[in-house]
Amino acid sequence: MAKVGFVGLGIMGAPMAGHLIDAGHTLYLYDVKPVSAELTGKGGIACASGAEVAKNADIIITMVPDTPHVNAALFGENGIASGLSAGKIVVDMSSIAPVETKEFAAKINALGCDYLDAPVSGGEVGAKAASLTIMVGGPEAAFATVKPLFEKMGKNITLVGGNGDGQTTKVANQIIVALTIQAVGEALLFASKAGADPAKVREALMGGFANSRILEVHGERMVKRTFNPGFRIELHQKDLNLALTGARQLQMALPATALAQQLFSACAANGGAAWDHSALVKALEMLANHTVAPDA
């Protein structure tokens, strides 16, 4: 069994760390908030800093909201880097900028350690069910070492390429997710305003070529009006900012992505930054002067 560090124990990180504890691994835990009694009760060891985690663990995982948080977790005061020794592996499972990821990897490599960027898709549901998709960038040998841990947290695990390629894949994933949420929202809103039952329309569409995980899960949220967050709009906005910034650097256009970002911004302007990203449909509803499920 491995000695694993886990820094960042929020909506995603806590269940992911829990699966590793359940699998019999020794977990050294740190978060800006106190480590939960649930994790320590199962055998997790609470630490006072990222440095303490890194001193005790051979593989250190980070799962925090954004690029600055990863930078602070790794290189801030009492951060992970200050506790590393040669031969350890740092695995960032956050969703952050590919360019900065390569810079972080170079700094960790200079300490004699390997670095994997391994962002995930599947949200809170996938984290709890250990069914996440994990997109990995980094050295093949380090990937082989960490893969048994990935298999306790996810199902579809792919080494895409070198450092930064995992994050690039996650950005691509978030483009597809945002545009599919927009498509599902438009379709159900169109059907509803035309007088059809959106729940029945969704049921019918799920039997054909238009079916998708987003139609299944987020289409149901739109119909039932359940927008408590699994993945917050403000976090998806962050991911689309990465996409649009990258597109400018590559001198290319992402017109549909830009539109989805504007719809998310409309939601945020109406108090919805913390809504689930499926609530993008609310921006479309404002434009249509109609809700998908007016009687819900």
In three-state secondary structure terms, 115 is: strand
Cα dihedral 216, 218, 224, 228 sign: positive
Cβ atoms of 210 and 186 closer than 8 Å: no
Distance between CA atoms of 35 and 118, rounded to whole angstroms? Answer: 23
Distance between CA atoms of 218 and 213, rounded to whole angstroms? Answer: 8
> Does residue 170 carry a catalytic annotation?
yes
Catalytic residue of the set 55, 88, 128, 170: 170
Side chain identity at 86, as an amino acid letter? Answer: A
Cβ atoms of 80 and 62 closer than 8 Å: yes
Bridge partners (DSSP) listed for residue 29? 6, 46
Give, for 203, the enclosing helix (H) or strand (E): helix 198-205
Nearest to 199 by CA among 290, 295, 293, 276: 293
Helix intervals (H) in 31-164: 37-41, 50-56, 67-75, 98-109, 123-129, 140-153
Which residues participate in catalysis according to the annotation? Answer: 170
